[in-house]
Amino acid sequence: MRVYIHTHGCRLNAAESRFFAEALESRGHEIARAMDGAVDCAIVNSCAVTAQAESKCKQTLRQIVRAHPDVLLVVTGCLAEKNPHPLLDFHRRILVLGNAEKHRVADYLERHDMSKNSSEIVHKSIGNASFSLPCLLDRPCSGRYNLKIQEGCDFGCAYCIIPRLRGRARSRDFRNLVEDAAVHVARGVKEIILTGINVGIYRDGSKNLADVIAELGAIPGLARIRLSSIEFGTIGDEILSQMADPESKLVKYLHMPIQSGSDRILLLMGRRYGIAAVWRYLEGVAKKIPGIGLGTDLMVGFPGESERDFECSMELLEGSPLQYAHIFSYSPRDGTAARAMEAQWVDRREIGRRSEVLRAVSREKHRQFLEQQVGKCEKVLFEDPGKSGFGGFTEHYVKVLVKNSAEDLRNQIRKVRLVENCGTFLLGEL
């Protein structure tokens, strides 16, 4: 069977899509790089964290069915979990897999009768026990690997639908994730990105996130370990010490979704910290780990957000050691506490204005951070070449482009002199 996989949403979805591909390849199926007339099955790994994400997923479904009316369509991920039955209207040959069963997508595909026009929904309750995933890779690979170590969340923030769609917090079996990482490193992976919904609360028996980092650091051939987005308040001193240690493979980079610079809005959101603690932490980390890459998520337009609340977020981004922010508009989601705050919703035009102001501040902070890197020599992990040359990332997650290289730099870590700031990336020379 020839299968195309289209991924929406977060890094965790990307990790799961890669697992789908490896599972299917291990059974002899072919993974298509693009959707074309020779594809038998299209898998859409969906997102429903915002209304916009949900709309984009549905647009993808329409485009696939319109161009390829005979393909078997598989929808999995958070949209399939949130509201599966309306998805049957998208196609006459469709399989809808909820999050509890998506890891068995290869099983469901192989038992599906490809000769018939049929629809099926598989929607089971999500447990809270620890989990394991098979290590199926039997081919060379390269670059960075999103290693899923955790799933679900218990924090219950007022705006967030993820606990409903992904279930309670649970962690992957420690030995199983270490085996998975070792298999991928042996096949060529240079960087492991620890991925989950709430990776900072990882725990399997007595093992915590620091233990995961230490164990993976002992894998021969692995050059880097990176934390994906991690919640403020879950990063212990042991992890910061690992990050500060020049012998550690844990890179000097943190992305923490702080969401707001206002204590009042943080309280309404159900976040578990005050903004003074955030300021102290950011300044302390920047002092303890010089040159660390620091980023965040900020939400605009949460119900009740005043102009002063918004200004607090702007002051945090402008004045703290943060180097960039991903800016999100509040999106009402049924089943969340914030959905009931309808009377306090912020005008959409005002949300747009505030968002653009914050994005401009973020662009300037990032430009300044890049300017500070010019003249330095950094190690860059290179990816596949593009039209302009070989691109890759430093350990601080700064994008670097090397033009006109006579060497094939794919999947190599090379020392690069950073010579020019291009606004969103740096030009470098080997």
Angle at 50 between CA 149 and CA 127, to 5 degrees: 40
Largest Cα separation within the chain, whole Å, is 63
Q: Which are the contacts of 416, defined by CB distance < 8 A and separation ≥ 6?
A: 377, 378, 379, 380, 400, 402, 428, 429, 430
Phi/psi of residue 232, nearest 5 degrees: -60, 135
Residue 112 predicted with pLDDT over 80 = no
**What is the Cα–Cα distance from 185 to 220, expressed in whole angstroms?**
8
Residue 342, pLDDT score: 76
What tens digit of pLDDT does each residue of 405-424 get? 889 999 999 999 999 999 99
Residue pair 392/385 in contact (Cβ under 8 Å)? The answer is: no
Residue 283 predicted with pLDDT over 70 = yes
Residue 114 predicted with pLDDT over 70 = no
**What is the Cα–Cα distance from 96 to 77, expressed in whole angstroms?**
9
Q: For the CA atoms of 167, 173, 179, 180, what is the dihedral angle to 10 degrees?
A: 0
Q: What is the pTM of this model?
A: 0.94
Q: Which are the contacts of 94, defined by CB distance < 8 A and separation ≥ 6?
A: 72, 73, 74, 75, 87, 88, 119, 120
What tens digit of pLDDT does each residue of 197-218 get? 999 999 999 999 999 999 999 9
Domains along the chain with CATH numbers: 2-122 (3.40.50.12160), 128-251 (3.30.750.210), 377-429 (2.40.50)
For 84, the 3-state DSSP assignment is coil
